[in-house]
Structure 1
Amino acid sequence: MTIHGYPDKLSVEPGQNVKFMINSEGNESYQAEIVRLIHGDTNPDGPGWKVELIDTDLKKQYRGREQKIYSGSYVAVPDNSLLRDIESFSLQAMIWPTTPDKGAQGLLTKWSDSKKTGYGLFIDESGFLSLWIGDGSGKVERVNTGKKLVERCWFFVGASFDATNGTVEVFQQPLVDKTNGRFSLAYSLETMTAHVKQVIKSKPDTDHEAPFIMAGYLETIVEGKNIVRGLYNGKIDRPRMADRVLTRQEMEQCIENPFVDLLAAWDFAANIGPKGLEIPSQIIDKSQSELHGKATNLPTRAMTGYNWTSNEQNFIHAPEQYGAIHFHDDDLSDADWKVDFEFTIPDDLRSGVYAAHVKAGEDEDYVTFFVRPKKGTATANIALLIPTASYLAYANTRFQDVPLAQLMFGRAPVIQAEDLYLMEHKEYGLSTYDVHSDGSGVCYSSGLRPILNMRPKYRHNLSPSLWQFNADLHLVDWLTEKGYTFDVITDHDLNEEGVDLLKPYNVVLTGSHPEYYSGAMLDAVEDYQQLGGRFMYMGANGFYWIIQFNPENPNIIEVRKQFGSNAWKANPGELHLSFSGEQGGLWRNRGRAPQKIAGTGFIAEGFDVSSYYRRNPVSFDPRVSWIFEGIGEDELIGNFGLVGGGAAGLEVDTYDLELGTPPETLILASSEGHSNAYMQVVEELYFNVPSMGGAENPRVRADMVYYPTPKGGAVFSVSSIAYCGSLSHNNYDNNISQLTDNVLQKFMSDEPLHWEEQSPQIAGAKSIKN
């Protein structure tokens, strides 16, 4: 993994530029070329690696350079004469530390560590609150409270320095009530209260270029970029600064009522209400100084503050109780690398999946991007909707406990070079399936970094074969081999353009796992169906998690997890998305279950062997029997494949009238024979009881369904993530390929797909569920 990179955008259209940022370790030179990706699965049982070289002037040798990632979030207020000219001062904030024992962490600092100069409020190496004063000669004086801070408890902290006599005061006071921390009784933390007063000889040298940093301190500045160390884990609420010594009483007063003469009164809730959500990186100073700041690497906004009462769960309705920002030392929103080369998409380049192939010695990377048609146009009557939001949700997933789970299922662990590299390089950012170093869930994910598991040839450590991107290339390959002309569009395009993006197409196909959806994306798909569009849901566990795109930078998504199959759970009061104010979690908990959009919804998952489908009696009905033309009556469907050995597996969806499956839906086929590794998902459980595994629970199955929609449209759903891995079996001559071809050919035509009578299978279908 000595060379890798990322593009400045995932979706690009003819006439636009896509920029590539490349890291070549050891500054080794490299070759680059543009390729079209067709099949990324190197499994010898399949068709193998397929790629098409695109003739461009980019194919040449490039001078390599190392580019580093500096992860960790903080707020920077640009250097200002008001901060340089200060003599006496006071600093204060509410803090909720999550790793107070991890080492020195900056809280409120104008500090240059390379010069050991400035001033700042810190958590020191012993976990004590401490004021540091550096006089510019290399001498640093520190005054601390001598008492350790406690994790996940609110503290009112502050310090002052009197330049007239050298007096330093530092204090910390735990703030405990019934809802805002680990404890509800104040006496539990009485011993944590401290107030220290001491006279020092030094005065801070403030005449340096260091910005004022919240949640870290400046190490140095390299080529105009702040290199910040001592990154703080935890929340900060209501930071204040004065250019004079404040008494303790004055400090308490200006928590909620900042004085007019304060040097700075930063309000982290100032732009999280309805009118301020467009600029989540902006940090507002409410004082006359207007020392506004900018958040770097996207710390988590709209978090419960020290005064949260639990009476209101949505920050939009009580922003004054959400005045906290949660900082993490491993946050990353943008690797911020320099551009190495650019590619202008030619007007005649067909829509598809592409990559910049870079190679240095024996190492290589495929920096993936997607070429869509020009906005407002279509070049085919088929659209493949690439689930880029889901790719971001899984970007650089660690899943460090998965190898153990694989051994429990009797499989050798699948660990790729990319997995090992990511474990060694935490700075490459996390996925929404990981937790931060302080144990809190990762709710933001960015495409502005190398995403090492969104590459051809990668075999995901979660599945027995492929997952996400390479699983979707199975479908790209099948469409290509079958000679279909199709456009590639992405979640990012759908979120921005809505149903207008889909209208030109007779049929839209999803990828194998379109799990993460914004409200705008759901609206677009449902509107398309209402307009007569034909929709093929080619996977499972789709339309599941609520997400939103960053209004400042759509390369970033947000998800807050709760009430579903979670890798982590949002803390109380923190389920609403900071980018929009809407409730996060599952779409089904907001009345928009996947069954309403695809006829089926997530029911079970298991990561061992995939199974097959068996036709149901209704599949012989003349209204739908065309779907099975060329397939025998008793033929098992999909008892083969590259993903677990079958077409029905990994994650599967089922029909459910109670959750919104349209009553005219027909269950064409259902899977069977799943092992007890397939368990019903938690949102379906009322109590945890035995006999919920696939070998004993009839609800653990994939339902292949079909139903008509208005104006001659229809929906066809396969309800299995493993399905597309069976398309290429036996050189594409198999019943999964035949069935898919039958549906796609019919959907491409202008032939109406309605039937006059109501389906007689409703009662029977419900009995299958029960």
Structure 2
Amino acid sequence: MRLLGYADRLSVPAGGRIEFKVSCELPEFAPSLVRLRRGGSPVHECDLLEDDVAADLPASVPGRVQVARAGSYVEAAVREDVTVHGAGLAAWIFPTLLDGEQTVLALTAPDGSAGYRLTVTAEGCALRDAAGTELARLDVAPVLRQWSWVAGQVSPEGEVRLELHRPGQAAPQVQESHLPVPRVQGTGFPEPARGAAPAWRGGLLRVGAGGRGAPTGFFNGKLARPLVSATGWSPGATARLAAGADAMTVLGSAGVSALALGRDPASVTVTDDGALTTGGAVVNRPASAVPGPFWRCTETDVRRVPAEYDALRLHEDDLDDAGWETDVALTVPADLPSGAYALKVRAGEHVDRVPFVVTPAAGARPAPVLVVLPTWTYLAYANWRTYAEFEEERVGLYGERRGVDPRDRWLARHPELGKSLYDVHTDGSGVMYSSRARPIINIRPDYYTPTTRGLRHFAQDLSLLHWLDGRREDYAVITDDELEDRGADALARHRVVITGSHPEYSSARMLDAYEDFTAHGGRLMYLGGNGFYHVTNRHPGPSGAIEIRRARGSTTAWASGAGEEHLSGTGEPGGLWRWRGRAPQRAFGVGMTAQGFDKASGYRRTPQSRAVDWVFDGVDVAVGEIFGDEGPGLGGAAGDEIDRADVALGTPADAVVLATSVGHSSSIVLVADDRTISYAAPVSPDPRVRADIVVFGRPGGGAVFAVGSIAWSTAMTHKGGDNDVSRITANVLDRFRDHPDPVVGA
């Protein structure tokens, strides 16, 4: 892609400011503002619809190439009043991928003319100077996925010592040498005597990466208790430090750095317990809230034993913020209607659309209908690259070849743009964080999703907005971020709240907001499936990164390591809300039960639905008959990922199951959450593999309607909206918006 960009946020209020960062290989590009009306493209079953919007934008902008740099590390400036003369560098390391030479610690003079790097490879460990000259080497490597302590020292007199303490060894591996003849100029100090260590003031300390400019040689694995001294330390001190003694007790603080990597897991800064630096900055958000080398395996909650969680998990492909500079800044017109928009950038035949949501201006009259777009789910899937990387495997999953968006093939060649929460890092560990501060290829209105033969996530949710436009509804749009920021206040004063098609990733504050809304008379339409499933939270900071930990015992792409199942941002246990006692059925009536992507099905109307006949006004479907078995994409309204009602999981006892899906193939499989070993003969088909449509009231006039399927809103578009799924949705919306009467029994 020769033209692509991203915004500094996914939503902005009318009258607010939003900035766009663009990489363009052509001399210039032309920006414009468009309102997105419907997702699609020539390869979809519908066309993209957009309206031009007048905006104060330049006619053209000079093109420039901007590059993202992946790889996580910690960086700290050495105090200018500290003289470095010799050095000691040591850390506990838990390598997970020893591919090439990786830097554990690097200490560099301000001009890069002097310094030291402690490195590891699959063959051994080395201590190098700033020029890369090997000062000492051990031909014994740390053990993969086990803790080791590695230390390198250079005394002011030029004596070099390198040692490695590996688990199970009675004595450390040690190699001693002496510095070569120095060739150092311009440090402000006299040239050192033959074989003595150079001296300098200030400089840079990096943990997990080398280099004075752009970082290099990223370390892959956990790293804890990094220790740097401006002069080195004695062999006796080394033994005590390797045994776990406190660095400040052994060495004191003067001229010593002891960065407390895990002390504040939610922070992007690190305190230095020593006086060598003023503290460090965490770059590209390595995983925190992970146990260190002295974890006793008796407690898995970081909040209870924070001293045992003193490590960071670093990766060469971590990315939190691409760091691009702003090319276009837009002050959104104060009277711009709330909705989905995009900055459309064009350079010759190349076009990209950077989407964002315009939310209502502060103090605006609340629209009767509010749509919450599930942007945290968009981020969870952001730059998911498996469509291109596992194309042949997906042929087996789908039973047919569905094609791949060409942008996915391009993305597979550009790992520097960061991964999704469904991917793993190069060392095989799961991706725990996903940020909006980078180009996200699959949040585009014309993105093609093979899973559904076209529309999914953002592009699909545009279909819902198009349907509302067709009805001339008075509605506003917000995102998960506004819901997290404002809680229940974000929903208050709106009569009806409608979710997107796949609100899978939610925080406790978001769940509380929905429950508060319906408890105080609000009406909620959950028009999707697999919603409110994963415990999620957002880290503070400009990147807007969300975080999850994937627990075992669920349908998951990877599982968190031992002791790593608590979120670093909040300390709360991750995994599924179901295992926290907040299964989606409690608040929304239905919850995730099965998934499959060969074909969607229809629903059979139940006898209980007679209690709410108004739902089926104008729908020629009698009790026992099937509806919703046609539509674009997967060919029906009940498909992709589906939810069931279950009183045992919290579905209100008075909820009315209006319809239940039928005819699912054997490819639609029960989630792992519900699969257990049993000696009883299995029931086939499993009765839990179904999508349920439910409606129920709440005290005070609140109500919930849930459809139990991601495919529902796509099916609403069948025949231009002239279908039963669309009519049922319209009946519920009209009733919820206009009638104060109870939804059941009246």
TM tier, shorter chain?
Answer: over 0.9
For residues 1-42 of structure 1, give each alpha carbon's deviation from its aligned partner in whole angstroms, at most 9, with x where no partner exists. 1101000011100221000000012x4311110101111123
1:719 aligns with 2:717: no
Residues 415, 461 of structure 1: 8 Å contact kept? yes
Matched AA of 1:717: A
Corresponding residue number in structure 2 for 1:415: 404
Matched AA of 2:204: P
- Shift of the 411–302 alpha-carbon distance from structure 1 to 2, 3 Å rule, reads same
Corresponding residue number in structure 2 for 1:762: none
Residues 117, 140 of structure 1: 8 Å contact kept? no
Matched AA of 1:197: E
Residues 696, 744 of structure 2: 8 Å contact kept? no
- Shift of the 560–498 alpha-carbon distance from structure 1 to 2, 3 Å rule, reads same
CA distance in structure 1 between the partners assigned to 2:343 and 2:221 by the alignment: 39
CA distance in structure 1 between the partners assigned to 2:134 and 2:653 by the alignment: 74
Corresponding residue number in structure 1 for 2:616: 628
Secondary structure of the residue aligned to 1:711 is: coil
Corresponding residue number in structure 2 for 1:706: 695
Residues 92, 251 of structure 1: 8 Å contact kept? no
CA distance in structure 2 between the partners assigned to 1:145 and 1:474 by the alignment: 61
Please report how far the alpha carbon of residue 444 of structure 1 lies from its aligned counterpart in structure 2 after TM superposition: 0.4
CA distance in structure 2 between the partners assigned to 1:158 and 1:576 by the alignment: 31
1:375 aligns with 2:362: yes
1:652 aligns with 2:616: no
For residues 725-759 of structure 1, give each alpha carbon's deviation from its aligned partner in whole angstroms, at most 9, with x where no partner exists. 111211211111111110001111142125569xx
Could you tell me the TM-score, scaled by structure 1's length?
Answer: 0.90
CA distance in structure 1 between the partners assigned to 2:667 and 2:537 by the alignment: 32
Matched AA of 2:540: P
Please report how far the alpha carbon of residue 478 of structure 1 lies from its aligned counterpart in structure 2 after TM superposition: 0.7
Please report how far the alpha carbon of residue 199 of structure 1 lies from its aligned counterpart in structure 2 after TM superposition: 1.8
CA distance in structure 1 between the partners assigned to 2:327 and 2:201 by the alignment: 33
Residues 267, 286 of structure 1: 8 Å contact kept? yes
CA distance in structure 2 between the partners assigned to 1:367 and 1:304 by the alignment: 39
- Shift of the 201–73 alpha-carbon distance from structure 1 to 2, 3 Å rule, reads same
Residues 119, 206 of structure 1: 8 Å contact kept? no
Please report how far the alpha carbon of residue 556 of structure 1 lies from its aligned counterpart in structure 2 after TM superposition: 0.8
Query: What are the residue-to-residue correspondences of 1:4-153 with 2, within 5 Å?
Result: 4-25=4-25, 27-42=26-41, 46-58=45-57, 60-81=59-80, 85-100=83-98, 102-111=99-108, 117-124=114-121, 127-134=123-130, 140-153=133-146
CA distance in structure 2 between the partners assigned to 1:45 and 1:550 by the alignment: 35
Please report how far the alpha carbon of residue 47 of structure 1 lies from its aligned counterpart in structure 2 after TM superposition: 4.5
Secondary structure of the residue aligned to 1:291 is: strand
Corresponding residue number in structure 1 for 2:594: 604
Query: What are the residue-to-residue correspondences of 1:136-175 with 2, within 5 Å?
Result: 140-164=133-157, 166-175=158-167
Residues 402, 461 of structure 1: 8 Å contact kept? no
Residues 46, 728 of structure 1: 8 Å contact kept? no
Residues 437, 543 of structure 2: 8 Å contact kept? no
Corresponding residue number in structure 1 for 2:262: 269
Residues 141, 202 of structure 1: 8 Å contact kept? no
Query: What are the residue-to-residue correspondences of 1:724-743 with 2, within 5 Å?
Result: 724-743=713-732
Corresponding residue number in structure 2 for 1:390: 377
- The count of aligned residue pairs is 721
The equivalent position to 2:667 in structure 1, one of 673, 677, 698, is 677
- Shift of the 706–754 alpha-carbon distance from structure 1 to 2, 3 Å rule, reads closer
The equivalent position to 1:197 in structure 2, one of 151, 176, 190, is 176
Matched AA of 1:467: R
Residues 422, 558 of structure 2: 8 Å contact kept? yes
CA distance in structure 1 between the partners assigned to 2:94 and 2:679 by the alignment: 38
CA distance in structure 1 between the partners assigned to 2:533 and 2:423 by the alignment: 18
Query: What are the residue-to-residue correspondences of 1:168-247 with 2, within 5 Å?
Result: 168-175=160-167, 186=168, 193-203=172-182, 207=200, 211-218=204-211, 220=213, 227-247=214-234
Residues 713, 752 of structure 1: 8 Å contact kept? no
Secondary structure of the residue aligned to 1:91 is: strand
1:744 aligns with 2:743: no
Matched AA of 1:122: T
Residues 16, 334 of structure 2: 8 Å contact kept? no
Residues 534, 714 of structure 1: 8 Å contact kept? yes
Residues 127, 152 of structure 2: 8 Å contact kept? yes
Matched AA of 1:342: A
For residues 389-434 of structure 1, give each alpha carbon's deviation from its aligned partner in whole angstroms, at most 9, with x where no partner exists. 1111110011233541333432114311111111000000001000
Corresponding residue number in structure 2 for 1:763: none
CA distance in structure 2 between the partners assigned to 1:734 and 1:755 by the alignment: 24
Residues 79, 276 of structure 2: 8 Å contact kept? no
1:510 aligns with 2:502: no
CA distance in structure 2 between the partners assigned to 1:444 and 1:672 by the alignment: 37
Please report how far the alpha carbon of residue 384 of structure 1 lies from its aligned counterpart in structure 2 after TM superposition: 0.4
CA distance in structure 1 between the partners assigned to 2:679 and 2:713 by the alignment: 33
CA distance in structure 1 between the partners assigned to 2:415 and 2:680 by the alignment: 39
Residues 56, 330 of structure 2: 8 Å contact kept? no
Could you tell me the TM-score, scaled by structure 2's length?
Answer: 0.93
> Which 10-residue stretch deviates more, 483-492 or 51-60?
51-60
Please report how far the alpha carbon of residue 344 of structure 1 lies from its aligned counterpart in structure 2 after TM superposition: 0.6
Residues 492, 554 of structure 1: 8 Å contact kept? no
Matched AA of 2:165: Q
CA distance in structure 1 between the partners assigned to 2:357 and 2:216 by the alignment: 36
Residues 73, 286 of structure 2: 8 Å contact kept? yes
CA distance in structure 1 between the partners assigned to 2:107 and 2:643 by the alignment: 54
Query: What are the residue-to-residue correspondences of 1:400-479 with 2, within 5 Å?
Result: 400-401=389-390, 403-479=392-468
Matched AA of 2:672: V
Query: What are the residue-to-residue correspondences of 1:216-615 with 2, within 5 Å?
Result: 216-218=209-211, 220=213, 227-254=214-241, 255-258=244-247, 259-262=251-254, 263-272=256-265, 277=266, 280-399=267-386, 400-401=389-390, 403-553=392-542, 555-562=544-551, 563-615=553-605
Please report how far the alpha carbon of residue 206 of structure 1 lies from its aligned counterpart in structure 2 after TM superposition: 6.0
Please report how far the alpha carbon of residue 205 of structure 1 lies from its aligned counterpart in structure 2 after TM superposition: 5.2
Output the aligned Cα RMSD. 2.2
Residues 4, 352 of structure 2: 8 Å contact kept? yes
Please report how far the alpha carbon of residue 202 of structure 1 lies from its aligned counterpart in structure 2 after TM superposition: 4.1
For residues 544-563 of structure 1, give each alpha carbon's deviation from its aligned partner in whole angstroms, at most 9, with x where no partner exists. 00111112346111000013
Secondary structure of the residue aligned to 2:166 is: strand
Corresponding residue number in structure 2 for 1:687: 677
| Unmatched segments (≥5 aa) in structure 1 | 176-185, 221-226, 758-770
Secondary structure of the residue aligned to 1:626 is: helix
- Shift of the 80–476 alpha-carbon distance from structure 1 to 2, 3 Å rule, reads same
Corresponding residue number in structure 2 for 1:183: none
Please report how far the alpha carbon of residue 147 of structure 1 lies from its aligned counterpart in structure 2 after TM superposition: 1.1
CA distance in structure 2 between the partners assigned to 1:384 and 1:586 by the alignment: 24
- Shift of the 639–367 alpha-carbon distance from structure 1 to 2, 3 Å rule, reads same
For residues 294-318 of structure 1, give each alpha carbon's deviation from its aligned partner in whole angstroms, at most 9, with x where no partner exists. 0000011111100111111111110
Please report how far the alpha carbon of residue 139 of structure 1 lies from its aligned counterpart in structure 2 after TM superposition: 7.1
Residues 108, 121 of structure 1: 8 Å contact kept? yes
| Runs of 4+, deviation exceeding 6 Å | 688-693
